Amino acid sequence: IVLLFVLTLGGLIELFPFVNSRPTNLFADYRSTLVSSIREQTPPRSSFVGSHLTEIHLAGRKVFLGDYAGQDLRLNKSRREEVVAELYASKDLGTFCNLAKSHKIDYVEFDARQQASPVLGLIRKTDSKYFTIMSAKETVIFVNTQGGCAQG
């Protein structure tokens, strides 16, 4: 009985620092406007191309080309990098849509670096009922490729 008492007391003493501690680092900001916008405005199985990888993952969505540790040849990273570059460099909606459809990409992010992309200018000029533009932040735009690309 004495041994059981000593072990229980030792466990309680070890428990106090654990219970009173608070995390000092924020590892996942689920409340960010970008995460909540993606979560609320896109279907759960959507596939994204974009640079906000952490936020896309925190929203529970797939990333077409992520920043993965290590090289996995099954992912065919070099080919996916080419596809992403071709998406942003597309001069017409046909090329953009063919790439998005053939690679099952549902949303393409245009942040400050891609605002001058020729295809974004074309998307903005088209009828808004075909391409849904989701502005999660002022500088980040996600374009739903399913609606507009289904029309072509």
From first to last of its 152 residues, the chain has per-residue pLDDT tens of: 788 888 888 888 888 777 777 766 656 667 778 888 888 888 899 999 988 888 888 888 999 987 765 566 667 788 888 999 999 999 988 899 899 999 999 988 888 778 788 888 888 887 656 677 776 555 677 788 777 776 54
Say if residues 88 and 114 touch (Cβ distance below 8 Å): yes
User: What residue type is assigned to position 95 of the chain?
Assistant: T
Does this model's pTM top 0.75?
no
Q: Which helix (H) or strand (E) holds 132?
A: strand 132-135
